[in-house]
Amino acid sequence: MADIREYPRSAEGSNISKIVVDRDLCIAAVSCMAVAAETWELDDENKIVVTDANSVDDDTLIASAEACPTKAIFLYDTEGNQVFPK
């Protein structure tokens, strides 16, 4: 079964209300953490988890997801539409 985790986001003024991580795709490249260190952490399986979904603004969060070489990070808006990847 796919190892997918969802994290609600409620940052003020944000259009992104959910972060989804496909942990099967995460290869611990930590590029996402280089962009938004406050948002992510590697767990003891060497897979990414969200530590603070509201720690950065939308542009930084999108840049963080863009930095992932395997596109393991998915972002959704308040209406459930996928914002990233497009």
Q: Should residue 35 be labelled a site residue for ligand SF4 when binding is judged by CB under 6 A?
A: no
The residue range among 4-12, 50-58, 62-70, 74-82 that interacts with ligand SF4, by the rule CB under 6 A, is: 62-70
Name which of 53 and 72 has its Cβ closer to ligand SF4: 72
CA distance 47 to 58: 22
* Residues at the interface with ligand SF4 (CB under 6 A): 26-32, 48, 67-68, 70, 72-73
